[in-house]
Chain A
Amino acid sequence: MKNKFKPIKSYVLNKGKILKMYRDMLKIRYFENKITDLYSKGLMPGLAHLYIGEEAIAVGVCANLTERDFATSTHRGHGHLIAQGVDLKKMMAEVLGKETGYCKGKGGSMHIADFSKGILGADGIVGAGIPIATGSAYSAKVRGTDQVTVSFFGDAASNQGTFHESINMAAAWKLPVIYVCENNLYGISVDIRKVTNTKDIAIRALAYDIPGIVVDGNDVLEVYRVTKEAVERARKGEGPSLIECKTYRFKGHHVGDPGRLYRLEKETEEWKERCPIKTFRERLIKEKISTEEELDLIEKDTKKIIKKAADFAIQSPYPNEKEAYEDLFVEEEGVEVR
Chain B
Amino acid sequence: MKVKKITYAQAVAEAIDEEMQRDKNVILLGEDVGILGGNFKATVGLYEKYGEWRVRDTPISENSFTGLGLGAALTGLRPIVEIMFSDFLMLAGDQIVNQIAKIRYMSGGQTKVPLTIRTTLGGGRSSAAQHSQSLQAIVCHIPGLKVVMPSSASEVKGLLKTAIRDDNPVIFFEHKMEYNKTYEVPKEEYTIPFGVANILREGKDITIVGTSNQAFKALQAAKELTKEGIDAEIIDPRTLVPLDKDAIIKSVKKTGRLLIVDEGYERCGVAAEIAMSVLKDVFYYLNAPIDRLTTANFPLPFSPALEFPLIPDEKKIYQRVKKMVIG
**Which residues on A are within 8 Å of B, measured CB to CB?**
70, 72, 101-107, 111, 113-116, 120-121, 123-125, 128, 130-143, 147, 149, 161-162, 165-166, 168-169, 172, 326-330, 335-338
- Name B242's contact: one of A131, A137, A336 (CB within 8 Å): A336
- Report chain B residues within 8 Å CB of A101: 108
Q: For residue A125, which residue of chain B has the nearest CB?
A: B98
* Interface pair B95/A166, CB less than 8 Å apart: no
Complex Cα gap A133–B68 (Å):
7
Judged by a CB distance under 8 angstroms, whether B76 is at the interface is: yes
Shortest CB distance A175–B (Å):
9
Interface centre among A139, A140, A149, A172 (most CB of B within 10 A): A139
Judged by a CB distance under 8 angstroms, whether B54 is at the interface is: yes
* Interface pair B75/A120, CB less than 8 Å apart: yes
* Interface pair A169/B143, CB less than 8 Å apart: no
Complex Cα gap A318–B148 (Å):
37
- Report chain B residues within 8 Å CB of A139: 71-72, 75-77
* Interface pair B146/A132, CB less than 8 Å apart: no
* Interface pair B109/A327, CB less than 8 Å apart: yes
Complex Cα gap A131–B112 (Å):
17
- Report chain A residues within 8 Å CB of B215: none
Shortest CB distance A141–B (Å):
7
* Interface pair B68/A134, CB less than 8 Å apart: yes
Q: A70-B75, A131-B63, A169-B59 are in contact. Are A113 and B110 (CB under 8 A)?
A: yes
Q: For residue B167, which residue of chain A has the nearest CB?
A: A330
Shortest CB distance B106–A (Å):
5
- Report chain B residues within 8 Å CB of A140: 75
Complex Cα gap A130–B66 (Å):
12
Q: For residue A116, which residue of chain B has the nearest CB?
A: B110
Complex Cα gap A123–B111 (Å):
15
Complex Cα gap A105–B94 (Å):
23
Q: For residue B64, which residue of chain A has the nearest CB?
A: A165
Q: A125-B94, A136-B71, A142-B53 are in contact. Are A161 and B105 (CB under 8 A)?
A: no
* Interface pair A133/B108, CB less than 8 Å apart: no
Please name 5 pairs of A and B residues whose Cβ atoms are closer than 8 Å in the assembled complex, sorted by A.
A107-B106, A116-B110, A165-B64, A166-B61, A327-B109
Judged by a CB distance under 8 angstroms, whether B297 is at the interface is: no
Shortest CB distance B121–A (Å):
21
Q: A142-B53, A326-B109 are in contact. Are A169 and B72 (CB under 8 A)?
A: no
- Report chain B residues within 8 Å CB of A328: 104-105, 143-144
* Interface pair B144/A121, CB less than 8 Å apart: no
- Report chain A residues within 8 Å CB of B143: 328, 338
Chain B 54-88: CB-based contact to A (< 8 A → 1; otherwise 0): 10001101011111111111111101000000000
* Interface pair A135/B68, CB less than 8 Å apart: yes
- Report chain B residues within 8 Å CB of A149: 71
Complex Cα gap A335–B243 (Å):
11
- Name B104's contact: one of A131, A137, A327, A338 (CB within 8 Å): A327
- Report chain A residues within 8 Å CB of B79: 135
